[in-house]
Amino acid sequence: MTVDLASFEKEIAKLDRALRPIAERSVDITQPGWVERLMTTRPLDEAGIRPEAQSLLESLVVFYFQADERQREDIRALLETYKAFRWAATLSRSPETAEGFRMHLLHLSACDQGSDPRDEILRLRYLCDVARKSGVDIAPILREVAALSSDVDKYKMGSMRYFLLKEILRR
């Protein structure tokens, strides 16, 4: 497969620039209603880039699934570099289907623990709960995505591969 990762980076960098002021905006926790404002922030809409960001993320996740190990490492590095894009970009698919669940896990894998593995573990558990309640057989998909995921223990809490495989045992 010949995909130009430089093209992905160029587009991600452009969207990251649009999202960075929103991502880095301070939150005044002394003001009443700060939690509600924080919870209702829709950065892709505020920046006016939702369709473009979701389309780019979906293409990136599909490529990540088809990529070799070196390319997956490069994609993880892109998402580590462009933190505002990583933080804000979402998939339009629901995790309530097997394919949607797989896409969300691949996105999680590509983000490789993000800035805080505790947040990613909670996200993983949420995705698994939604998929499980919708009747998705999550174990084979967790194994499939774990095989593509990093085995690097970035934060001394385990690797993304470990988190995915451990989730099979929960419940």
Residue 77, pLDDT above cutoff 80:
yes
- The residue that leads in pLDDT, 144 or 40, is 144
106-14-56 Cα angle (round to 5): 30
Q: Please report the sign of the dihedral spanned by the C-alpha atoms of residue 142, residue 3, residue 115, residue 45.
A: negative
**Whole-angstrom distance, CA of residue 141 vs CA of residue 97:** 11
Per-residue pLDDT tens over the stretch 97-140: 999 999 999 999 999 999 999 999 999 999 999 999 999 999 99
What is the rounded average pLDDT of the residues 26-31? 89
**Whole-angstrom distance, CA of residue 66 vs CA of residue 50:** 24
Element containing residue 135 per DSSP (H, E): none
Sequence-separated (6 or more) residues with CB below 8 Å from residue 166:
158
SS3 category, 125: helix
Instruction: Find out whether 38 and 104 touch, Cβ atoms under 8 Å.
Output: no
List the structure tokens of 52: 């473009």
What is the rounded average pLDDT of the residues 143-169? 97
Q: Which of these, 96, 122, 97, lies nearest to 108 by C-alpha position?
A: 122
Q: Which of these, 72, 53, 70, lies nearest to 62 by C-alpha position?
A: 72
Q: Which of these, 56, 70, 63, lies nearest to 19 by C-alpha position?
A: 56
Among left, alpha and beta (phi > 0; psi -120 to 50; other), residue 151 is alpha
